[in-house]
């Protein structure tokens, strides 16, 4: 059974315990455990991860958004070339998009040189790739719903009617 | 110098104020004392306001408020409650429900007229009646009736001076909602004695079980009800101070007359933000309500587990547990809890005599803080 309320709670905080979720939703702990187990089993919950500000943690990292124009292959369309690309560990995301380019690829590396090298060596040389356009990420404001710059603080008066 | 107004002088300052002064001098307090959402106003409303300022939309609006906003409210009331209010002359934009309440009292009361006020309830009701020259007649409610007054109590309080009855569900501070049947019977009494009904429904959307009962939808209520509502709670817009009143044209016109000479109009930039909120803020609002609902269950369980008997509130964002078994007064309990465990709550006595023996705990705060606060409360209670 798909329980979207449980999913939303876990999406916000994956560490929320089944007993807490049970109280929040007015269900029994067993119901919640069962539901989570099912959703894990059928791949609705893929895995649990942590949102990290790597910059704050001191890790040097460079990201680039690479738009790729490709010729789709007969029979497999874009899937084949997408797979060739997404299997590289440097590649963080690959999307098929509408517009002038076909694939939007996000690539990460330790240095700008490393990312540029990956594009020139691995991406541009792929048989079906016609052209690429690279934009380096300069500052991350918001990622996947999380704001990475200053956040608003609670500035309410402590006691109000 | 001659003394100030007798009415003002005899009105005690809000019981909340004293607490605020203590709390504001302490660090690291977890506050369950806040009567407003912890969410900031949805960005779309703030952004709409910024844009309007950039365009120089900085002038007076109609005394009734922006027509577009009144039209949006009229459409909302039709959609939500099936009610018909003409945006031209049946809706007045006020500076929060607080002003709406004041206008309603001043529009209908003559000196000495009585207004029936159920308690525990919002701190401003009684002063509003008195400032308008009226006499508040309190009817108490207690935990055994789920903090709703009974139709019998209402009828018993009616005298030949009674002009109006004030209704406010979901209730601040108890979170109580009243059943449709109870409310209809109260409306019947208002009809029988020809009383106005002033219904403060600011927490209407924060109703967690079943559908909110909007008073003017009840049989016989529409003609005699002044419906007060606003944007503070539904759209987390407390500081913007935008409310509205809806009722028969002659009542709204009377309220507008007072508003016209005292307020002129509600601030235009806040009206612009409210317009964006009511047009496009539904999903933002629903998201907040869903979270309040989850916190509600967590705090009520936590308080009961801590040994403070607490009903499951049907609306608003307050839990109102009993502290009678601790043997402390609500003032003592709140003060000691603050000094010993740094958790701020509001003593129930601030909301009327019958609120004594309870504390108001707002769950308009993050889940982490609620959990921490409940833990501290449990520790405090176990020490007593």
pLDDT per residue over B319-352, tens digit each?
A: 999 999 999 999 999 999 999 999 999 999 999 9
Question: Would residue A56 count as lying in a domain?
Answer: no
pLDDT at res. A152: 77
Q: Which residue of A has its CA nearest to B31?
A: A158
Q: What is the rounded radius of gyration, in angstroms, for the C-alpha atoms of chain A?
A: 21
Statement to judge: residues A20 and A81 lie in one domain: no
Whether residue A151 has pLDDT greater than 80: no
To the question of domain B6-41+283-383 being in CATH 3.90.1150.10, the answer is yes
- Which of B36, B172, B294 is opposite residue A25, by nearest beta carbon? B294
Q: Which residues of B touch A (CB under 8 A)?
A: 14, 16, 19-20, 23-24, 29, 31, 33-36, 38, 40, 122-124, 172, 290, 294-295, 297-298, 301, 344, 346, 365, 367
- How many Å lie between the alpha carbon of B20 and the closest alpha carbon of chain A? 5
Residue A20: list chain B partners with CB under 8 A.
298
ipTM above 0.90, yes or no: no
The one-character DSSP state at A88 is S
For the structural domain made of B43-281, what CATH number should be given? Answer: 3.40.640.10
What confidence category does residue A109 fall into, taking pLDDT thresholds of 50, 70 and 90?
very high
Q: What CA–CA distance (Å, rounded) separates B229 from B224? A: 16
Statement to judge: residues A72 and A14 lie in one domain: no
Statement to judge: residues A37 and A80 lie in one domain: no
Partners of A65 in beta bridges: A106, A135
Whether residue B71 has pLDDT greater than 90: yes
Statement to judge: residues A30 and A66 lie in one domain: no
Whether residue A74 has pLDDT greater than 90: no
Answer yes or no: do A160 and B301 touch at CB < 8 A: no
Residue A6: list chain B partners with CB under 8 A.
none
Domain of residue A83, CATH code: 3.30.70.920
pLDDT at res. B240: 97
What confidence category does residue A150 fall into, taking pLDDT thresholds of 50, 70 and 90?
confident
Question: Would residue A50 count as lying in a domain?
Answer: no
Statement to judge: residues A31 and A68 lie in one domain: no
pLDDT by residue (tens digit) across B138-175?
999 999 999 999 999 999 999 999 999 999 999 999 99
Statement to judge: residues A66 and A134 lie in one domain: yes
Residue A161: list chain B partners with CB under 8 A.
14, 16, 35, 122-124, 172
Q: What CA–CA distance (Å, rounded) separates B47 from B126? A: 37
Statement to judge: residues A76 and A127 lie in one domain: yes
Task: Identify the residue among A145, A147, A159 best suited for mutation to test binding to B, counting B beta carbons within 10 A and taking the highest.
Answer: A159
Question: Would residue A128 count as lying in a domain?
Answer: yes
Query: Structural domain of residue A26, as residue ranges?
Result: 4-41
Whether residue B20 has pLDDT greater than 90: no
Domain count, chain A: 2
B21 CB-near residues (< 8 Å, 6+ apart): none
Q: What CA–CA distance (Å, rounded) separates B175 from B345? A: 15
Statement to judge: residues A66 and A100 lie in one domain: yes
Q: Is the pTM of this model over 0.90?
A: yes
Mean pLDDT over the full length of chain A: 93
pLDDT at res. B44: 97
Residue B177, Cα to own-chain centre: how many angstroms? 12
Instruction: Give the residue range(s) of CATH 3.40.640.10 domains in chain B.
Output: 43-281
Question: Would residue A146 count as lying in a domain?
Answer: no
Answer yes or no: do B24 and A9 touch at CB < 8 A: no
Answer yes or no: do A158 and B290 touch at CB < 8 A: no
Residue B365: list chain A partners with CB under 8 A.
154
Answer yes or no: do B34 and A5 touch at CB < 8 A: no
Q: Which residues of A touch B (CB under 8 A)?
A: 5, 8-9, 20, 23-26, 152, 154, 156-161
b/e per residue B277-298 (b: at least 16 CB within 10 A): bbbebeebbeebbebbbbbbbb
Answer yes or no: do A161 and B29 touch at CB < 8 A: no
Q: What CA–CA distance (Å, rounded) separates B378 from B306? A: 4
Instruction: Give the residue range(s) of CATH 3.90.1150.10 domains in chain B.
Output: 6-41+283-383
Q: What CA–CA distance (Å, rounded) separates B293 from B270? A: 28
Question: Would residue A161 count as lying in a domain?
Answer: no
Residue B16: list chain A partners with CB under 8 A.
159-161
């Amino acid at each position: 059974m798909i329980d979207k309320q449980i999913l939303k709670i876990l999406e916000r905080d994956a560490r929320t315990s089944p007993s807490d979720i049970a109280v929040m939703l007015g269900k029994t702990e067993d119901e919640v455990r069962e539901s989570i187990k099912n959703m894990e089993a059928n791949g609705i919950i893929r895995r649990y991860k942590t949102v990290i500000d790597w910059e704050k943690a001191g890790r040097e990292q460079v990201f680039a958004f690479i738009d790729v124009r490709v010729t789709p292959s007969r029979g497999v369309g874009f899937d084949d070339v997408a797979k060739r690309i997404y299997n590289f560990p440097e590649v963080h995301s690959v999307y098929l998009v509408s517009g002038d380019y076909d694939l939007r690829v996000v690539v990460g590396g330790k240095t700008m040189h490393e990312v540029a090298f990956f594009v020139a060596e691995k991406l541009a040389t792929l048989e079906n790739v016609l052209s690429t356009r690279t934009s380096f990420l300069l500052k991350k404001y918001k990622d996947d719903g999380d704001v990475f710059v200053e956040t608003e603080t609670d500035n309410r008066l402590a006691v109000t009617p | 110098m001659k003394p100030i107004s007798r009415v003002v002088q005899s009105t005690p300052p809000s019981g909340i104020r004293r607490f605020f002064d203590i709390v504001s001098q302490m660090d690291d307090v977890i506050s369950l004392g806040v009567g407003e959402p912890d969410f900031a106003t949805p960005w779309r409303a703030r952004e709409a306001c910024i844009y309007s300022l950039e365009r120089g939309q900085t002038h007076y609006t109609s005394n009734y408020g922006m027509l577009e906003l009144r039209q949006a409210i009229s459409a909302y009331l039709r959609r939500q409650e099936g009610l018909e209010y003409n945006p031209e002359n049946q809706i007045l934009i006020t500076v929060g429900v607080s002003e709406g309440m004041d206008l309603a009292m001043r529009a209908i009361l003559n000196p000495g007229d009585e207004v029936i006020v159920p308690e525990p309830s919002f701190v401003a009701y009684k002063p509003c009646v008195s400032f308008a020259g009226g006499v508040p007649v309190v009817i108490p409610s207690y935990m055994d009736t789920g903090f709703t007054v009974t139709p019998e109590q209402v009828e018993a309080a009616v005298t030949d001076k009674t002009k109006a009855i004030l209704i406010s569900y979901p209730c601040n501070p108890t979170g109580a909602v009243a059943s449709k049947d109870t409310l209809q019977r109260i409306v019947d009494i208002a009809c029988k004695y020809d009383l106005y009904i002033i219904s403060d429904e600011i927490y209407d959307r924060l109703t967690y079980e079943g559908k909110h009962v909007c008073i003017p939808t009840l049989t016989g209520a529409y003609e005699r009800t002044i419906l007060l509502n606003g944007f503070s709670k539904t759209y987390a817009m407390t500081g913007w101070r935008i409310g509205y009143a809806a009722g028969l044209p002659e009542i709204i016109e009377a309220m507008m007359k007072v508003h016209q000479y005292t307020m002129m109009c509600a601030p235009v930039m806040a009206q612009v933000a409210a317009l964006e909120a009511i047009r496009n803020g539904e999903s933002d609002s629903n998201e907040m309500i869903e979270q309040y609902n989850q916190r509600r269950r967590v705090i009520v369980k936590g308080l009961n587990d801590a040994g403070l008997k607490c009903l499951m509130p049907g609306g608003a964002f307050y839990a109102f547990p009993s502290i009678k078994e601790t043997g402390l007064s609500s003032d003592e309990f709140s003060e000691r809890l603050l000094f010993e465990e740094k958790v701020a709550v509001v003593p129930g006595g601030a909301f009327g005599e019958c609120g004594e023996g309870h504390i108001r705990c707002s769950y308009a705060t993050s889940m982490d803080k609620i959990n921490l606060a409940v833990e501290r409360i449990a520790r405090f209670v176990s020490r007593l």
